[in-house]
């Protein structure tokens, strides 16, 4: 009988443990889990984590984190859907993320309108001008795009971003030598971001400097097959919007 009581108590304890609520999003264990996932850029893991927290409580800060990680994972529609309830309250980071998603989805006029909402609150917002320029460029409004990207640079957005995007605009406009002139000095200064190097290689191929393009591909390990990459780049016209930053 005594043994039976012990077994019954143990069974109840296990049952209660199984029904216990998961760690809340403000617990130390939850924060530690989030930190680990952030360190390794595990977007899918973070999405699962944030969704579990939102089931517990719909918190605007967590919803924003979820929307951001959907964007980073390439699921732009889910990012916009998650973000939508937050857009009722004006907030610059929310409109920036909305514009980024809309650009990724090819909805360029809507992206421009999202940046204009930011400028109504903060006319000197460099990232808003940058995103506006990218959306206008991809929508074929090259003159207005040039003005917006130059404005972003004058407001001291990172030079790598400004020059890369101006070079992308030049390539869309068929001005490949101008793109080389913008990107090559950055590369020679040691600014070797992947997007910048790939855009520089594309511009060099387009102006006929395959030798230098081949050197950069080999020196920077951009491809195990430099000649195949060069031949593929030679066929690209106009360049993909993915080259913007």
The pLDDT tens digits for 117-152 are 999 999 999 999 999 999 999 999 999 999 999 999
Residue 7 has pLDDT above 80, yes or no: no
Q: Are 214 and 181 in contact (CB under 8 A)?
A: no
Residue ranges in the chain assigned as alpha helix (H): 2-19, 28-39, 43-56, 60-73, 76-83, 92-104, 108-121, 126-138, 142-154, 159-172, 176-188, 194-206, 210-219, 226-234
What's 192's DSSP letter? Answer: -
Q: Give the pTM.
A: 0.87
Q: Which two tokens stand for residue 64?
A: 């924003």
Question: How much is the pLDDT for 90?
Answer: 84
Which pLDDT score, from 0 to 100, does residue 28 have? 87
Is the per-residue pLDDT at 65 higher than 90? Answer: yes
- Arithmetic mean of pLDDT over the chain: 91
Q: What is the pLDDT of residues 15-55, one digit of tens each?
A: 333 433 445 666 888 889 999 999 999 999 999 999 999 99
Do 149 and 169 touch, CB atoms closer than 8 A? yes
Question: In 3D, which of 208, 201, 136, 196 has the Cα closest to residue 172?
Answer: 136
pLDDT for residue 13 is more than 50 = no
Give yes or no for residue 10 having a pLDDT over 60.
no
Furthest CA-CA distance within the chain: 91
Confidence at residue 241, expressed as pLDDT on a 0 to 100 scale:
85
For residues 187 and 181, is the Cβ–Cβ distance under 8 A? no
CA gap 196, 203 in Å, rounded: 11
Integer Cα distance of 245 and 160 in angstroms:
9
Kindly tell me if the per-residue pLDDT of 59 is higher than 60.
Answer: yes
- What does the pLDDT read at residue 57? 94
Domains and CATH numbers, the chain: 38-89 (no CATH), 106-154 (1.25.40.10), 158-240 (1.25.40)
pLDDT at position 205: 98
> What is the reported pLDDT for 220?
97
Residue 158, exposed/middle/buried by CB under 10 A (0-12, 13-18, 19+)? middle
Average pLDDT score over residue span 183-205: 97
* Residue from 178, 123, 192 nearest 151 by CA: 123
Residue 122 is predicted with a pLDDT of 97
Q: What is the mean pLDDT of residues 221-243?
A: 93
Contacting residues for 89 by C-beta, under 8 A, at least 6 apart: 60
3-state secondary structure of 186: helix
More confident residue, 89 or 208: 208
CA 225-229-232 angle, 5° bins: 145
Those residues whose C-beta lies under 8 Å from the C-beta of residue 192, and which sit 6 or more positions away, are 220
Do residues 143 and 131 make contact, with C-beta atoms less than 8 angstroms apart?
no
- Angle at Cα 119 formed by Cα 91 and Cα 71, nearest 5°? 50
Q: How confident is the model at residue 198 (pLDDT cuts 50, 70, 90)?
A: very high
Q: For residue 238, is the peptide bond before it cis, meaning its omega torsion is within 30 degrees of 0? A: yes
- With 50 as the cut, is the pLDDT of residue 160 above it? yes
Q: Report the candidate in 218, 151, 159 with the shortest Cα–Cα distance to residue 186.
A: 159
């Amino acid at each position: 009988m005594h043994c039976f009581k012990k077994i019954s108590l143990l069974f109840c304890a296990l049952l209660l443990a199984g029904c216990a609520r998961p760690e809340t999003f403000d617990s130390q264990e939850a924060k530690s889990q989030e930190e680990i996932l952030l360190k390794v850029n595990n977007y899918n893991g973070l999405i699962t984590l944030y969704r579990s927290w939102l089931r517990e409580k719909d918190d605007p800060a967590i919803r924003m984190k979820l929307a951001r990680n959907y964007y980073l994972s390439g699921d732009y529609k889910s990012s916009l859907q998650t973000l939508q309830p937050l857009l009722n309250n004006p907030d610059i980071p929310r409109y920036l993320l909305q514009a980024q998603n809309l650009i990724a989805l090819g909805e360029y006029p809507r992206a421009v309108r999202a940046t204009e909402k930011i400028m109504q609150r903060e006319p000197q917002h460099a990232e808003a001008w940058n995103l506006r320029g990218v959306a206008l460029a991809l929508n074929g409004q090259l003159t207005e795009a040039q003005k917006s990207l130059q404005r972003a640079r004058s407001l001291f957005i990172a030079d790598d971003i400004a020059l890369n995007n101006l070079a992308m605009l030049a390539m869309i406009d068929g001005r490949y030598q101008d793109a080389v002139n913008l990107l090559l000095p950055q590369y020679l200064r040691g600014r070797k971001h992947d997007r910048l190097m790939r855009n520089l290689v594309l511009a060099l191929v387009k102006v006929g400097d395959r030798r230098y393009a081949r050197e950069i591909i080999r020196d920077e390990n951009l491809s195990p097959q430099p000649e195949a990459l060069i031949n593929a780049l030679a066929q690209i016209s106009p360049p993909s919007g993915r080259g913007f930053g």
